[in-house]
Structure 1
Amino acid sequence: MTFFEEFFSNHIFLTAACGWFVAQILKTLIHLIISKKFVAERLVGSGGMPSSHSATVCALVTATCYEYGAGSFEFAISLILAIIVMYDAMGVRRETGIQAQVLNDMMKIFEDMGRSEISPHDKLKEFVGHTPLQVLMGALLGIFCGVIIYTFVI
């Protein structure tokens, strides 16, 4: 078996990738419904509802549990990784997004005063982290994807 055949037959990887993919599609659709604008960046970007970070790692944890059991070291490692990723998404990354929003607002004030040292193209990215609800919804989506894949596909 070649590397690519092994890689793309890895059920744990495919389940995690599916969790990410479904979350990104939902995130794009939810943004479209709320803002009435299609933003292609939402298909791959971070931030927003649901958290694709949470969906990915929770799908990973669910698949690992199915493959190796809840008592395995693989499950323990994936669970700790998931906790760290979700904590970071709600903490440091969310604060970074809030700070970016404040700085962008300050730059707008400078621009209105006739001082535009930074172009609108250099605006800081505000969609970086997640609210606890976004993380929770991403986690539930990831678990759901894992259960569906292992129940009906594999």
Structure 2
Amino acid sequence: MNQILKLIDDFFHNYVLMVALISWAAAQLIKVILVLIETKEVKWERMIGSGGMPSSHSSTVCSVVVALAKCYGVSSPVFAVAFVLAAIVMHDAMGVRLEAGKHARIINVLMKKMKIEDIDQEKDLKELLGHTTRQVLGGGLLGVIIALVIPVF
């Protein structure tokens, strides 16, 4: 039992992990708020959905990069790996995932116009997958700020 409690305690005292989770949650909550302002409706799906402003993927990976820099320095191999992976995640969000969302939008329109009803597909393809450059930069900035504000514990 003591080992389980120690594991739980270690989990919640992992600075890098906590900064990452807080950054992700903050970005998702901001999405809900922005959609509420725009549509006057609370859409809780935005708490777990991808796409939109700010990018929670970017927020998360940027907060990890900054947290690791604070803990281990920018010359550490751990920071280097996180930095490279963050760049890949952010590039992918603006590239492949954004284009996949555009393709889904076109396919949905075509299927409606051609009155194609796919029995395996109960609803439209998901269109909100990727991010614009502004959304990625917004998420990245959010993650950096959160990691800078939360002190190492």
Question: What TM-score results when the alignment is normalised by the length of structure 1?
Answer: 0.91
**What aligned pairs does 1:2-151 form with structure 2 within 5 A after superposition?**
2-111=6-115, 115-118=116-119, 121-150=122-151
What SS class does the counterpart of residue 29 from structure 1 fall into? helix
AA of the residue aligned to 2:31: K
Distance 2:111 2:8 in 1: 47
Q: CA deviation at 1:5?
A: 1.5
Give the letter for the 2:49 counterpart: G
Q: CA deviation at 1:119?
A: 8.2
Q: CA RMSD in A?
A: 1.6
Question: Which one-letter code corresponds to 1:107 in the other structure?
Answer: M
Question: What is the total number of aligned residue pairs between the two structures?
Answer: 149
Cα distance in 2, alignment partners of residues 32 and 89 from structure 1 = 23
**Residue 90 of structure 1 aligns to which amino acid in structure 2?**
M
How far residue 120 of structure 1 moved from its aligned partner, in angstroms, is 7.7
Once the 2 structures are TM-superposed, how far is the Cα of residue 52 of structure 1 from its aligned partner?
A: 0.2
Q: Percent identity of the aligned residues?
A: 44
- Counterpart of 1:96 in 2: which secondary structure? helix
Give the deviation of 1:116 after TM superposition.
3.1
Q: Which stretches in structure 2 are left out of the alignment for 5+ residues?
A: none
